[in-house]
Chains A and B, each alone.
Chain A
Amino acid sequence: MSSVLYDVPGPRARLRNRILGVVTILVVVALIALTIWRLYATGQFTAQKWSIFGYTTIWVRILEGLWHTLSAFIVAGVGALILGFILAVGRLSDHAWVRVPVGWIVEILRAIPVLIFMMLMYYGLPTVGIKVTPYVAVVVALIAYNGSVLAEAIRAGVESLPRGQKEAGYAIGLRKNGVLRLILLPQAVRAMMPVIISQLVVALKDTALGFIITYPELLYVIKLLGTQIQYGSPLVPAAIVGGSIYVALCLLLSYVAYRVERRTRRSPKIRQEVPAAGDGDAATVTEFIAVQKGVEGRKRK
C-alpha cells in the first residue's frame, strides 16, 4: 500500500519486523483469550443463555427490530438525499438572499448533535402540544443532519468541476436550471458518490440512536431479549447476535462505497481530484497522488 515509506527490509530489519509481528500476534491473542476466558468464566456459553435463540417467535421479534431499523434508514436516506439536493442548490444560488440563509441552516443543522435533535422532537415538542412518535423523531433528525452533510458534499462536488463545464453549458444556450440539472449535478453526484454512500452508512449507524428515545429498533429488541430472566438474562449473547447483524449491514454498505470509490478513481471520465468531504472518509494513497502530480489539475482548498 504505502510501500514507498520504507525500503525492502534487510536482514536486521526483517528480524525486527518479525519480532514486532510476533508481539502484535501475542497482544491480539492475549486480548481474544481474555475475552473468551471472561465469557466462559461468567457462563456466557451455557446452553440456557443461548436457548432463547431457538424459538421462532424470538427471531420474529429480532426481524421486527431489524425492519424498524431498516425502514427508518430507508426513509431517512431518501429524505436526506432530497434535502441534500435542495440545500445544495440553495447554497449554489446566485441570489444572496437564498444562499446566505441556506448556508446558515446547513451550518446549524450540522452542528446540532443528532441525539439532541431527536430529543428535541420527542421530549420537547409535546410541551407545545405536538405529539411525535419515536419513529418520526428518528427519521426527521436523521434527515436534517445527513441532508445538511450531503448538501455540503454535493456543493463541494459541483465546485470542484472545471469552470469550462458551466461556461460551455451557457454557451450552448442552456439556462441556469439546465446547466445545473443537466451538466453540473450529474457530474458532481458521480464524483461524490463514494462520499454520499459513506454518509448513508453514517445514517444507518445513527438509527441506533433511536434506542435512547425508545424507538423499538434492533438494539432495543436486543436489550429486551437480554433481560428475559427465564432464559438467564442472556444480555451478552443477545448483544453478540444483534451486534453482528448491525456490523454486517454497515460493512455491506461500506463495501459498496469502497467499490464505487475504486471505480470512480479509475474512471477516465472523472479526471480532476475528488475533494475529500464528510468525515475525511475519502483516503488518498501516496501512489495515487504521485500519479496525480503528473496531470496536476486544480488545487483544492
Chain B
Amino acid sequence: MDDVGHLWWQAIEGTLVLFFIGGVIALVLGFIVGAMRVSPVPIARAVGTVYVNWIRNTPLTLVMFFFAFCIPILLGQRINAIALATVALGIYTATYVAETIRSGVNTVPVGQAEAARALGLGFGQVMTLVVLPQAFRSVVPPMMSVLIALLKNTTVAAGFSVLNLGSVTAYLSEHRTATADNIFQAMVTGENQLLTLLLIAVIFVVLVLLLAWLQRVLERKWRVER
C-alpha cells in the first residue's frame, strides 16, 4: 500500500511539474513570439508567423516524439524524460499563448494607439503604457482556455515514459503486489483498470471545471467596458 501511495504522489508531482514548468516556458516564449508578431520588424514578424503556423499544425504527440526520441540522439546523451516532455509541451503551448496575446493586442481600439502616438510616445511606450494594460484584460479569459488545454495535454507525456496522471495506471499494474479487498482498493491500486482510469478522468474533470470557474470569475471581474 505504501508503494501505491508513493506512485500516486509521484504521478501527481509529474503532472504538476509538466503543467507549471511547461506553463512558464509557454508564457515566456509565447510572450516573446507574440511581441514579435506585432513588432515593426518585418523579419521578426515573419519568423513569428512561421513558428506559430508550423508548430500549431504539428500534432503535440509528434512534437513530443521528436523531443523524446530524436533530441537525445542528436545531442548524443541521455536526458531526463520529464525535462524533454516539459520543454516540448512549453514549445507547443507557446504558439497558442502567442496567438492569444496577438489577438488581445488587436482588440485594443485603433484610437488608443493613435492617441498615444499623437502624444509622442515611442513604440515601446505605446505598448507598455497604453496597449498592453488594456490588452491584458481581454487576454486573461482566452489565456485560461490555453492553460486548461495545457493541463489536459500533460497526459500526452504518458506515451513517452513520463510518470504522470496519464500513465499512473500502467505503472500501478507493474508494481501491483497484493490483491485488493474492496472496490475502493481495486480502484486506487490499479487492480481494476477501468475504475482507476475513471478516477483519473474525474480528477481531470474536476480540475478543468475548477479552472473554467476561475476563468468565469476573472472574466466578470475584468470585463472590458467599451
Chain A residues in the interface with B (C-beta under 8 A) = 1-2, 4-7, 9, 13, 17, 20-21, 24-25, 28, 35, 38-39, 41-42, 44, 107-108, 110-117, 119-120, 123-128, 201, 204-209, 211-212, 219, 222-223, 226, 235-236, 239, 242-243, 246-247, 250-251, 254, 276, 279-281, 283-287, 289-290, 293, 301
Complex interface bits, B143-181 against A, C-beta within 8 A gives 1, otherwise 0: 001100100110110110000001001000000000000
Question: Does B19 sit within 8 A of A, measured CB to CB?
Answer: no
Known: A113-B152, A239-B65. A289 touches B106 (CB 8 A): yes
Question: Does B17 sit within 8 A of A, measured CB to CB?
Answer: no
Q: How far is the CB of B69 from chain A (nearest CB, A)?
A: 6
Q: CA separation between A126 and B193, bound complex, in Å?
A: 9
Question: Does B113 sit within 8 A of A, measured CB to CB?
Answer: yes
- Residues from chain B with a CB closer than 8 A to the CB of A111 are 152, 204-205, 208-209, 212
| Stretch touching chain A among B5-13, B81-89, B97-105 | B97-105
- Residues from chain B with a CB closer than 8 A to the CB of A113 are 152-153, 155, 166, 204
The answer to whether B194 touches A127 (Cβ under 8 A) is yes
The answer to whether B73 touches A42 (Cβ under 8 A) is yes
The answer to whether A246 touches B58 (Cβ under 8 A) is yes
Can you list 14 contacts pairing A with B, beta carbon distance less than 8 Å?
A2-B106, A5-B38, A5-B126, A7-B117, A28-B47, A115-B156, A116-B197, A116-B200, A120-B198, A124-B193, A211-B65, A243-B66, A246-B58, A254-B53
The answer to whether B106 touches A280 (Cβ under 8 A) is no
Known: A209-B156, A235-B73, A239-B66. A112 touches B61 (CB 8 A): no
Closest 6 CB pairs of A and B: A212-B159, A208-B59, A124-B194, A250-B57, A208-B61, A111-B208
Which residue on chain B has the smallest CB distance to residue A17?
B41
The answer to whether B106 touches A285 (Cβ under 8 A) is yes
Which residue on chain B has the smallest CB distance to residue A205?
B59
Q: How far is the CB of B50 from chain A (nearest CB, A)?
A: 9
Which residue on chain B has the smallest CB distance to residue A34?
B74
- Residues from chain A with a CB closer than 8 A to the CB of B113 are 4-5
The answer to whether B204 touches A116 (Cβ under 8 A) is yes
The answer to whether B57 touches A108 (Cβ under 8 A) is no
Extra A-B contacts (15), CB below 8 Å, given A125-B194, A207-B59, A283-B106: A5-B105, A9-B40, A111-B209, A113-B204, A119-B166, A120-B201, A209-B159, A211-B159, A219-B61, A239-B66, A239-B69, A243-B62, A246-B58, A276-B103, A290-B110
Known: A115-B155, A211-B159, A251-B53. A243 touches B201 (CB 8 A): no
The secondary structure that dominates the B interface is helix
The answer to whether A116 touches B70 (Cβ under 8 A) is no
Which residue on chain B has the smallest CB distance to residue A254?
B57
- Residues from chain B with a CB closer than 8 A to the CB of A281 are 99
Q: CA separation between A212 and B74, bound complex, in Å?
A: 23
The answer to whether A13 touches B43 (Cβ under 8 A) is no
Question: Does B91 sit within 8 A of A, measured CB to CB?
Answer: no
The answer to whether A286 touches B110 (Cβ under 8 A) is yes
Q: Number of B residues whose C-beta is below 8 Å from A?
A: 73
The answer to whether B105 touches A112 (Cβ under 8 A) is no
The answer to whether B103 touches A284 (Cβ under 8 A) is yes
The answer to whether B149 touches A212 (Cβ under 8 A) is no
Q: How far is the CB of B59 from chain A (nearest CB, A)?
A: 4
CB-contact partner of B145 in A209, A219, A247, A279, under 8 A: A279
CB-contact partner of A286 in B60, B106, B212, under 8 A: B106
- Residues from chain B with a CB closer than 8 A to the CB of A254 are 53, 56-57
- Residues from chain B with a CB closer than 8 A to the CB of A38 are 74-75
The answer to whether A21 touches B201 (Cβ under 8 A) is no
The answer to whether A247 touches B54 (Cβ under 8 A) is yes
The answer to whether B74 touches A283 (Cβ under 8 A) is no
The answer to whether B123 touches A6 (Cβ under 8 A) is yes
The answer to whether A116 touches B155 (Cβ under 8 A) is yes
Which residue on chain A has the smallest CB distance to residue B141?
A301
The answer to whether B105 touches A21 (Cβ under 8 A) is no
The answer to whether B96 touches A279 (Cβ under 8 A) is yes
Known: A6-B126, A124-B194. A212 touches B117 (CB 8 A): no
- Residues from chain B with a CB closer than 8 A to the CB of A28 are 47
- Residues from chain B with a CB closer than 8 A to the CB of A290 are 109-110
Question: Does B133 sit within 8 A of A, measured CB to CB?
Answer: no
Which residue on chain A has the smallest CB distance to residue B117?
A7
- Residues from chain A with a CB closer than 8 A to the CB of B73 are 42, 235-236
Question: Does B4 sit within 8 A of A, measured CB to CB?
Answer: no
Q: CA separation between A107 and B216, bound complex, in Å?
A: 14
- Residues from chain B with a CB closer than 8 A to the CB of A44 are 74
Question: Does B39 sit within 8 A of A, measured CB to CB?
Answer: yes
Q: CA separation between A301 and B222, bound complex, in Å?
A: 12
Which residue on chain B has the smallest CB distance to residue A198?
B56
- Residues from chain B with a CB closer than 8 A to the CB of A6 are 40, 117, 123, 126
Q: Which positions 13-28 of chain B face chain A at CB distance < 8 Å?
A: none
Q: How far is the CB of B84 from chain A (nearest CB, A)?
A: 14
